[in-house]
Structure 1
C-alpha cells in the first residue's frame, strides 16, 4: 500500500478512470475515481500529491472543465470523496457568467493530499483555512474532462479571502501542454498570456455578486505570489493533510476513508469501497441544465 506522502516518479505513469453514478445535473450525481487497477480510490486521499517530487510536478484532479458553469467539487464529507455538484439551500450551484467571462476560465480543480486547516491561522493572510484541498487554476490550452487526473507545473498563487477564510488559488499548467516548457513562474503567464492574471483576479472578485454577496477580497492586495511561494504553501497544506490522516488533527466532519494509506486509521478494504459505491444510485438519464445558467450578468465594477 502507498504511504501517506506518495511521491517519486511513478505517479506520472498512473492512468485513472471515472465512474458516474446517479443522474447528471441532479442532486444524486456522483463521479467516483478508479486507479489504474480499476479499484475505487479517494481523489482527496489516495492519489499522490507528487507526480515527480524531484521536478516539482504535481497531480491535479480536475473538478470543473473550462467554460462550464456547474460548481463541481470533491465531496470532502462523503466516503471515498466522489466529485459532486455543490448545493446551496437545496439547489445545485452554478457559477454565473459575469461579463466578459463564460463559466470557469481555466480547468479548475484540486491538489490531492492537501488540506487547508480551518483550525490553523495562515501567517501570510491572518485567516484560517477553508477546510478543503487546495484549489488549482490550470491555464493550458486543452479543455480537460471532469474527474481527469493531470500532471501540472506550479507557477504561482493568489490568496483569496472568501468570507473570512484563506482560500489559495494556485496557478498551474498541464505538463502535456505544447507550450508548458515556456512557463516556469508567474511572470511567464503575465508575458505569454496577457490579461489572463488580471481576468483571474476579476473573476474571483466578482463571481458571487450575482448571488447577492459582496465582492471577494484578497491578501497581498490581489497580487500573485511566485512559484516558490506557492510550492511552500502546498507543502504546508500537505503537512496539514498528513496530520489529518494520522488523526493528530480533528477531522471535523471530513471523510478520511481511503484505500491505500497503510498507516492510516481510516484505511478501508476493497470490498468496503465497492459497498460505498453500491449505496449510490446507478447512472441515470441526464437532466437539462436550467436556462438561467446561460444568462450573462453585467454590473459596474466597484
Structure 2
C-alpha cells in the first residue's frame, strides 16, 4: 500500500503545473478519492490541497528567483489566472511578493516533497476489531465548529462545557446500544478541508429512548466499522490512537474509509493522567 501511495505522490509531483484530478492518484493508490484524501491528511498532517498549493508555490519561488520567465508566465504555469492572485498566494506563503523577491533575492519558504514509509515502533499495542452493524441513531446535541488540525479545539471545549457534566453523566443511563457511552462524532469532515473550515460536531449516545436535554440526532447508515482501542497517558493515548490508525493500520490492512461519522469515546481517570480510548471508523473492504 505504501509503495502505491508513493507512486501516487510521484504522479502529483509530475503534474504540479496543471490541474490535478485527485481521482487519478487515488486510482494509482488503489483506493477511493475519499479515502485517499483522508489517508493523506492523517499521514501528512495537512490536507492534500494545501500540500499541492505549497509545492506549487515552492517551485514557483525557484522560478521567480531564477528570472528566466516573466512573473505572469510563472503565475500561469502554476495555475494562477492573474498576476494579482499569484502575488497574493506567493506573499501568503513566502512573506514577500514575487516582484520584490526577484529584485532582492529574498529568502523564501519551501515545502519539501513528501514520501511515506511505515515505521513500526513497538512501543504500544493497538487492539482492533471489525464489526458489521445495522443503522443506528445518536441522540444528543450538535453544533458547527471551525476545523483545528493540531491541539485543542476551543470551540469544541466550549460546546462540551455548555452541555454540562451533569447532563452528560445523565445521558449515560439512556445509552442502550453499541458504541456504548457518551460519544463524540464528526459528521461531515473531509480530509481536504482547510484549517478553519466549519464541520459538524456532535455529542450524544446511541439510544432509541427519549433522552432529556438531547435536542438533536445523527443517523449512521448500516455497514462495516473498524473499532480501535487504546489505553495510556492522557492526552497522548487518544492523540496517538488516531495517528496510528492511519499511519499503521490502514496501510497494512485491506480496508479503506467510507462516508459516515467517525465516533470516539474517551474515559479519563479521576486524576486526569490516564485514558481509555475507543474509536469507530466506517470502513469498507478493498476488493483485489
When normalised by structure 1's length, the TM-score is 0.24
Higher relative contact order (Cα pairs below 8 Å, separated by 6+ residues) = 1
Q: Who wins on radius of gyration, i.e. which is larger?
A: 2
When normalised by structure 2's length, the TM-score is 0.25
